[in-house]
A and B are shown apart, each in its own frame.
Chain A
Amino acid sequence: MSPTRVPVVDGWFSSEGGEFRLLGTCCRGCGAVYFPREDVFCRAPGCAGTELTEMPLSRRGRVWSYTDGRYRPPAPFPSGPEGEWRPYTLIAVELAAERMVVLGQGAPGVTVADLAVGMEVEVVPGVLGEEGGRTLTTWHWRPVAEEAS
């Protein structure tokens, strides 16, 4: 039996309609966009908005910066204390339309050697780790393959 797949956090991403997207919220009053989602109050200082609607974020953006983690992070990161530690890549991505930077882990196999500031990346579904017999799902950033023009 394969383990149950559950998102590491509810409501932050979805594959509805077949396309994987990060989910933010948008204030109906002032148009401010939030990720992680803000569902109760708009945080813009001049806005009293309380109606925030779910909004998928841009699928693609450009690398703002990147790094990796060569040592095991502490809990609550679901790495488990046992077994070999495999470094992960961390990528900060600038989304042009939202004018925001969103962090995420790199897709499996993507190392810092594959990255450069300004490079185009896209969001893809990924697995964060196993925990208590469950597979925790997440989002990953992956470089966009060069397309022939």
Chain B
Amino acid sequence: MTGEVAVLGAGMHPWGKWGRSFVEYGTKAARAALADAGLQWSAIQSVVGANTVRCGYPGQVSGATFARALGWQGARVTSVYAACASGARAIDTARAQILSGMADTVLVVGSDAAPKGFFAPAGGERPDDPDWLRFRVLGATNPAYFALWARRRMAMYGDTAEDFARVKVKNAAAGAANPYARYRSPVTAEEVAASPVVADPLRLLDICATSDGAAALVLGSMETARRLGMRRPVRIRAVSSVSPSHPRTALDLPDIATDSAPPGSPASDPFRPSIARAAYEEAGLGPEDLSLAEVYDLSTALELEWYEDLGLCGPGEGAKLLREGATALGGRIPVNPSGGLASFGEAVPAQAIAQVCELTQQLRGQAGERQVAGASAGITVNQGLFGHGSSVVAVR
């Protein structure tokens, strides 16, 4: 274990399609996190921004963008990009600064104003960019990859479209109780089945939307938390930050092909389970110690995959765990009690931070109707394009 940092404050901007600037969302989330921490902006020593993709500069220097919006006050500034894992990388950077003694109070912000429809690469003729190539040569959108994995689960494990729909029904029920969620209505299995197929076997309601949204955290040293009179702060105990092992044999965004495994070589360590394993090792706990988990349900089927990769059940048993009700609110190990991306949609640089905001609320016992009783330990997990694996463990 490398030591813990305290969550001094957490704040979000409600998710939706608001038609405003990511700077506005992020600044509001930052101000909410500062208020929650009871700290003045001037007390923040470092700002870490999770970058959003913009063809100009501002989104790509998000740390400075938010620092300017809040008012230049001389703090250290960092900006990070890791696609879907950007928020987790921002948390990781803040934690490293705190544990190394570089800063006592760090503001982490992620925010986005998402485009309509499929995520697409930036323009231009860029055949050296694998993400550009998969759209150019194959028209392979993100949902196409989610669908390949969903179809594979059906063939390997006997999962059904009804199982996938059950994930949406569960997460929509939780999201209905979350004031920050974009979608706040229950969804039925019939509604999922009646929605149009986007990429066989996945339908529109199996796939998360794109959204505007923002999330922020104020992190600090345990000593700072004590000084602020916080007797039992939520603590971040682990931030996993792993890349795959060569040869990477799982076909993932934005690959056109996997690595090849040399003849006779043993299969390499699969990537997704290694993300959680590193977090468990660093935190000194295991799946049996968890009260809840927040996972990237970019598709309903992918949530089932994460159950297995987190060790909540064995390979192929995800749908069974779901059917038993174990992962619903009130179940043995609620997954996505926030409502997940199914209820929020994707605001790429914000979502991994929003996951930790949810853990914070749950561990403080402030989650209202969606409170997991007696929550004492939670995990988040996500994955960004180009081999960014991330997982955060928080305890109280």
Binding site for B on A (CB under 8 A): 8-9, 30-36, 43-45, 64-71, 73-79, 88, 90, 92, 95, 97-105, 112, 116-118, 128, 138
B199-A69 in contact (CB<8A): yes
12 more CB-based (< 8 A) A-B contacts, given A32-B260, A67-B150? A31-B262, A65-B149, A71-B118, A73-B135, A76-B123, A99-B260, A99-B262, A100-B249, A101-B257, A102-B257, A103-B140, A103-B251
Binding site for A on B (CB under 8 A): 117-118, 120-121, 123, 125, 127, 130, 132-141, 144, 147-152, 155-156, 196-202, 246-247, 249, 251, 255-263
For this complex, 26 residue pairs linking A to B, each with C-beta atoms less than 8 Å apart, are: A32-B262, A33-B260, A34-B260, A35-B256, A36-B130, A36-B257, A44-B247, A64-B152, A64-B251, A68-B200, A69-B140, A69-B141, A69-B144, A70-B198, A73-B141, A74-B118, A74-B135, A76-B125, A90-B138, A99-B263, A100-B249, A103-B255, A103-B256, A112-B200, A116-B155, A117-B155
A117-B263 in contact (CB<8A): no
Main secondary structure of the interface of A (DSSP, over half): loop
B120-A128 in contact (CB<8A): no
Given contacts A67-B151, A67-B199, A90-B144, whether A77 and B136 have CB atoms under 8 Å apart is yes
Q: Which 4 A-B pairs have the closest CB atoms?
A: A74-B120, A67-B147, A117-B155, A73-B139
The contact of A68 among B127, B199, B258, by CB within 8 Å, is B199
- CB contacts (< 8 Å) of A117 on chain B: these are 151-152, 155-156
- Least Cβ distance of B198 to chain A in Å? 6
Given contacts A99-B260, A112-B200, whether A78 and B136 have CB atoms under 8 Å apart is yes
Residue in B117, B155, B200 with the greatest tally of chain A CB atoms within 10 Å: B200
In Å, the complex CA distance between A36 and B147 comes to 22
- Least Cβ distance of A16 to chain B in Å? 20
- CB contacts (< 8 Å) of B118 on chain A: these are 71, 73-74
Residue in B151, B197, B261 with the greatest tally of chain A CB atoms within 10 Å: B151
In Å, the complex CA distance between A70 and B260 comes to 30
- CB contacts (< 8 Å) of B120 on chain A: these are 73-75
B152-A65 in contact (CB<8A): yes
In Å, the complex CA distance between A90 and B198 comes to 13
- Least Cβ distance of B187 to chain A in Å? 20
Q: Which residue of B lies closest to A118 (CB)?
A: B155
In Å, the complex CA distance between A71 and B120 comes to 13
In Å, the complex CA distance between A9 and B155 comes to 32
- CB contacts (< 8 Å) of A100 on chain B: these are 249, 257-261
- CB contacts (< 8 Å) of B247 on chain A: these are 32, 44
A9-B137 in contact (CB<8A): yes
Given contacts A36-B256, A103-B256, A117-B151, whether A67 and B246 have CB atoms under 8 Å apart is no
- Least Cβ distance of B256 to chain A in Å? 5
In Å, the complex CA distance between A105 and B140 comes to 9
In Å, the complex CA distance between A9 and B130 comes to 12
- Least Cβ distance of A68 to chain B in Å? 5
A77-B257 in contact (CB<8A): no
- Least Cβ distance of B42 to chain A in Å? 43
- CB contacts (< 8 Å) of A45 on chain B: these are 246
In Å, the complex CA distance between A64 and B251 comes to 10
- Least Cβ distance of A137 to chain B in Å? 11
Q: Which residue of A lies closest to B267 (CB)?
A: A99
- CB contacts (< 8 Å) of A30 on chain B: these are 262
Residue in A70, A105, A128 with the greatest tally of chain B CB atoms within 10 Å: A70
In Å, the complex CA distance between A105 and B138 comes to 6
In Å, the complex CA distance between A52 and B138 comes to 25
A99-B200 in contact (CB<8A): no
A99-B144 in contact (CB<8A): no
B144-A76 in contact (CB<8A): no
Q: Which residue of B lies closest to A93 (CB)?
A: B257
- Least Cβ distance of B119 to chain A in Å? 8
In Å, the complex CA distance between A65 and B199 comes to 12
The contact of B198 among A71, A88, A104, by CB within 8 Å, is A71
In Å, the complex CA distance between A79 and B202 comes to 22
In Å, the complex CA distance between A128 and B120 comes to 19
- Least Cβ distance of B228 to chain A in Å? 44
B138-A103 in contact (CB<8A): yes
- Least Cβ distance of A82 to chain B in Å? 16
In Å, the complex CA distance between A71 and B61 comes to 33
- CB contacts (< 8 Å) of A103 on chain B: these are 134, 138, 140, 251, 255-257
- CB contacts (< 8 Å) of B249 on chain A: these are 99-101
- Least Cβ distance of B299 to chain A in Å? 11
- CB contacts (< 8 Å) of A73 on chain B: these are 118, 120, 135, 139-141
